[in-house]
Amino acid sequence: MADTRLDSLPEECLAHIISFTSPRDACLSSLISGSFRDAADSDLAWEKFLPSDYREIISRSVYPVEYSSNKELFRKLSSTPLLIDGGNKTILIDRYNNKKCYMLSARGLSITWSSHSLCWCWKSLLHSRFHEAVELIMVCWLEIKGKINTKILSPNTTYGVYLVIQLANRAFGLDSLPSEIEVQVGDYKTRGTICVKRDERVLCARDDGWLEVELGEFYNDESGKEVIMTFKEIKGEQLKGGLIVEGIELKPKY
C-alpha cells in the first residue's frame, strides 16, 4: 500500500523524487498507485534518465527519431543502437545505469592498407549494425586504431574498450604471434598482448552474433581528453587473413 503522505504530494514533486532512482525503479514505482504511475511516466522523471545532450545526439541521427514522450525515447535509445554521424558511429543507452555506449564503425577507424582491395575487402553484412564491415584478405602488417573524445562519453564512469570482430572460415596467421593491445587517455596507458584463436577465452561471444576482444579500460573524469585505442601485430612477417572487423565499442563496466 502506498504511503498516503507521499501519494498526496504534487506530481512534479513525486517525479523529482523518482528521477533520483533508476529507470527500473521508475517502472516499479508506477505500480504503487495512480499518482505514482503518472509521476513515473512523466517527461520530468525520464528527462533525468536521458543523457544531458540527448537532443544534440538525436540531431546527429542518420534516420529521424520519432517519440511521443521521454520515456518512449529512453526505451528506443536503450533497446536499439542509434546510427549517428553519417553512419560511422552508434550510441546506445545502458538501460540499467543510464550510461552512454558508443561504437565506432570500421569506416570510422584507421586501418592500415584498408583502401587496398588486395589487402582488405569492404562488404555489407546483414547482421551488422553498420552499412558495411571490412574483412582482412591478406597482410603481414596488421594495425587498427580508433579515436574518440571523452567529452561525449558519460562522466565519472569506467569504460571498457572492445574490438568487435568475427573470424572467417578461411582465417589464418592471426595466432602466429600475440597481437598488441593498447588504450591511451592522456598520460594514462594500458598495454597487453592477446592471441586471436577461435577457442581462446579472450574472444567473448556477444548477443548480436559477433565476438569481442577487450583492448583495455579507462576512467572518464570529464577532462575532455582523446582516447586512442590500438590493436596490432606488426613485428612478425607471417601473412594474416580472415579477420572481419565491425568496429570498436566503448561501454561502461559494472
Please tell me the CATH superfamily of domain 100-252, with its number. Answer: Galactose-binding domain-like (2.60.120.260)
Domain ranges for the chain, please list them. 10-80, 100-252
- Beta pairing, strands 188-194 & 179-185: antiparallel
Mean pLDDT confidence for 63-68: 96
> Distances from the Cα of 89 to the Cαs of 109, 138, 214, in angstroms?
10, 26, 19
Across 57-71, b (16+ Cβ under 10 Å) vs e yields bbeeeeeeeeeeebb
Pairwise CA distance, residues 41 & 222, whole Å: 30
Q: Which secondary structure element, helix H or strand E, spans residue 53, and what is its range?
A: none
Residue 68 has pLDDT above 70, yes or no: yes
- For the stretch 82-140, pLDDT in tens is 999 999 999 999 988 899 999 999 999 999 999 999 999 999 998 899 999 999 999 99
- What confidence tier does 1 reach under pLDDT thresholds 50, 70, 90? very low
- Whole-structure pTM value: 0.89
Q: Which secondary structure element, helix H or strand E, spans residue 198, and what is its range?
A: none
Pairwise CA distance, residues 103 & 81, whole Å: 9
Whole-number pLDDT of residue 28: 74
Whole-number pLDDT of residue 9: 66
Span between the terminal Cα atoms of the chain, in Å: 33
- For the stretch 154-205, pLDDT in tens is 999 999 999 999 999 999 999 999 999 999 999 999 999 999 988 767 899 9
